[in-house]
Amino acid sequence: ELKVEQNPLFLSMQEGKNYTIYCNYSTTSDRLYWYRQDPGKSLESLFVLLSNGAVKQEGRLMASLDTKARLSTLHITAAVHDLSATYFCAVEGYGGSQGNLIFGKGTKLSVKP
């Protein structure tokens, strides 16, 4: 059974600081996704990571994937208030579980002045 764990679940940080969110998953997969969700809103796709060593960057966010360690990271550089949201990683099952998209519990990020 595919399980996805994120940490931390809550993150309060000051503007200008850096931090990393971690996403671990339990079974083989090379398809990992990061989403952002604002309160009361739906999910917005941020990154799609498809291979070991994949790294993608958009603005102050950078995501990476290590399929051997079954670990993805979302690094925040010089945080700004607009980044305050909940961030979810999601992993797609492999082989027979293809298409089965399972989410982590999310990291609620609050960036304070």
Partner 1 sequence: DAMVIQNPRYQVTQFGKPVTLSCSQTLNHNVMYWYQQKSSQAPKLLFHYYDKDFNNEADTPDNFQSRRPNTSFCFLDIRSPGLGDAAMYLCATSGAGVIRGAEAFFGQGTRLTVV
Q: Provide the minimum distance between the beta carbon of 90 and partner 1 in the complex, in angstroms, as a whole number.
A: 7
Nearest CB to partner 1, comparing residues 15 and 44: 44
Nearest CB to partner 1, comparing residues 104 and 111: 104
* Cβ 103 vs Cβ 89: under 8 Å: yes
Nearest CB to partner 1, comparing residues 71 and 101: 101
Q: Provide the minimum distance between the beta carbon of 96 and partner 1 in the complex, in angstroms, as a whole number.
A: 10
Tell me the torsion sign for CA atoms 20, 38, 82, 59: positive
The owner of tokens 């969110």 is 21
Chain positions contacting partner 1, by CB under 8 A:
30-31, 33, 35, 41-45, 48, 50, 88, 90, 92, 98-106, 108
Nearest CB to partner 1, comparing residues 92 and 111: 92
Tell me the C-alpha distance between 94 and 56, whole Å. 22
3-state secondary structure string across 21-71? EEEEECCCCCCEEEEEECCCCCEEEEEEECCCCCEEEECCEEEEEECCCCE
Q: Provide the minimum distance between the beta carbon of 78 and partner 1 in the complex, in angstroms, as a whole number.
A: 26
Q: Provide the minimum distance between the beta carbon of 20 and partner 1 in the complex, in angstroms, as a whole number.
A: 19
